[in-house]
């Protein structure tokens, strides 16, 4: 998946890192953006290496197990820029898995639908609070704009969800 490649190459643009450092960065800084697991990240890094976009150096310190350092190279830099331009130019069409549940929600009793939507609302509020509490990134406007965009989208979904819950509670169930 190209978005995973873009994330990993973007992280490596700043500096060479060990695999665990990459995973730690993703967990601490990008959990609102991606759910990429450690094994997936390592698989994508290996794929990027085989394609010639990154270099891997194996280091051995004393009795410790060998560890790999991942480094961006010139070809990887060009590929990153290509992926970045494609990503920024894309229309942003969303494939939200929640739409599948919404499509079939009529199979649930109204009370259960409302209960599920209320749980969804609580989770949305939690995500919004988490983004609102993120520290600023100084001169890195891209990170700030990404956070702002996510907040706008989540707040819009929260408004939509409040409207749906209101319609459900008033018995305005559409068929």
Task: Write the Ramachandran bin of 92: left for phi over 0, alpha for psi from -120 to 50, otherwise beta.
Answer: left
- What confidence tens digit (pLDDT) does each residue in 144-162 have? 888 899 899 999 999 999 9
Q: What is the DSSP string of 149-167?
A: HHHHHHHHHHHHHHHHHHH
Distance of CA 91 to the CA centre of its chain: 17
Token reading at 95: 């494939």
Burial of 170: CB neighbours in 10 Å, binned 0-12, 13-18, 19+: exposed
Report whether CATH 1.10.10.10 matches the domain 2-89. yes
Indicate the range of 17-21, 43-47, 104-108, 137-141 predicted with least confidence: 137-141
Q: Report yes or no: 83 and 6 within 8 Å, Cβ to Cβ.
A: yes
Evaluate if residue 93 carries a pLDDT over 90.
Answer: no
3-state per-residue secondary structure call for 138-149: CCCHHHHHHHHH
Task: Give dist(CA 143, CA 122) in Å, integer.
Answer: 25
What average pLDDT does the segment 69-96 reach?
Answer: 90
d(CA 106, CA 113): 8
Sort 136 into a burial class: Cβ within 10 Å, 0-12 / 13-18 / 19+: exposed
User: Per-residue pLDDT tens for 36-62?
Assistant: 898 999 999 999 999 999 999 998 888
- What is the per-residue pLDDT across 2-23, written as a single tens digit (0 to 9) for each? 899 999 999 999 999 999 999 9
């Amino acid at each position: 998946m190209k978005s995973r490649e873009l994330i990993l190459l973007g992280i490596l643009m700043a500096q060479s890192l060990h695999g665990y450092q990459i995973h730690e960065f993703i967990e601490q800084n990008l959990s609102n953006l991606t759910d990429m697991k450690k094994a997936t990240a390592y698989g994508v890094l290996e794929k990027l290496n085989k394609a010639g976009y990154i270099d891997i150096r194996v280091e051995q310190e004393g009795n410790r197990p060998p560890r790999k350092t991942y480094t961006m190279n010139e070809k990887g830099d060009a590929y990153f820029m290509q992926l970045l331009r494609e990503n920024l130019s894309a229309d942003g069409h969303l494939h939200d898995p929640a739409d599948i549940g919404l499509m079939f929600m009529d199979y649930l009793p109204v009370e259960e639908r409302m209960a599920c939507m209320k749980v969804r609302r609580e989770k949305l509020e939690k995500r919004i609070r988490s983004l609102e509490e993120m520290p600023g990134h100084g001169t890195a406007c891209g990170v700030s704009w990404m956070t702002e965009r996510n907040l706008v989208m989540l707040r819009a979904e929260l408004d939509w969800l409040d409207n749906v819950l209101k319609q459900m509670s008033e018995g305005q169930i559409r068929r």
